[in-house]
A and B are shown apart, each in its own frame.
Chain A
């Protein structure tokens, strides 16, 4: 696996980091303070998590005065989504249901 992809997997394997990333994806840019308030862990811990997310290109930071603002970079996830296997599973399952329906239509 490519190093960049491996970093993404590592970054998202931790539930706290995943929560921070999902929070940023949903609610947009946040300061470290705001993220700390939501995460329920110490600020140094949040900062450490953010460094790991940044290494994986999942977040981008910006200094403004004394605050650092973070925003999600969800395009870093793109290589992980394999639409072919997602929809392959989906359609095979639906084909089974279609065949079941056709059998019921006989009755």
Chain B
């Protein structure tokens, strides 16, 4: 009964009262990335392969494999994001505004199901999510 819907895209946009240059540093310098995202060996060089490492949970090693796809300083950054066989792409776009920067993050390539009931049901399942993610992620 495997049911997989077409891929989906998650978009998060925020106005942040800081310059694109400064946000770019937070997005691309390893020591700064570790402060808000994960431990890493990231470098803003197209083709560079890196890992993001978070705390392992049962059935998930906590490792995300990535490859840098797009580097346009202070403007666009994109990398692949693969974890336990689930491949996706993260793309950042920085646009200067009068008060700072419009930050757009697009994470695309998810499989998801469209039944809203599943979404509601998932809230009761947070504590198994690590296991589910690991087991299902290992499928393909």
Q: Does B bind A?
A: yes
B94 CB, nearest partner CB in chain A, Å = 12
Contacts A75-B2, A79-B113, A85-B119 given: A102-B16 contact, CB under 8 Å? yes
On chain A, the residues within 8 Å of B111 by CB distance are 78, 83
* Residue A31 lies at the interface, judged by CB distance under 8 Å to chain B: no
**Dominant SS among interface residues on chain B:** mixed
Pairwise interchain contact A83-B110, C-beta atoms closer than 8 A: yes
Q: Are B22 and A102 in contact (CB under 8 A)?
A: yes
Closest CB in chain A relative to B48 CB, distance in Å? 21
Partner pick for B59 among A25, A81, A87, CB 8 A cutoff: A25
> Chain B interface residue count: which class?
35 or more
B90 nearest CB across to chain A (Å):
9
Residues of B whose CB lies within 8 Å of any CB of A are 1-4, 8, 10, 12, 14, 16, 18, 22-23, 25-26, 32, 35-37, 58-59, 86, 103, 105, 107, 110-113, 115, 117-119, 121-122, 125, 128-129, 131-133, 135-136, 138-139
**Contacts from A to B (Cβ < 8 Å):** 1-2, 4-5, 9, 12, 18, 22, 25-26, 57, 72, 74-88, 91-92, 94-95, 97-102, 105
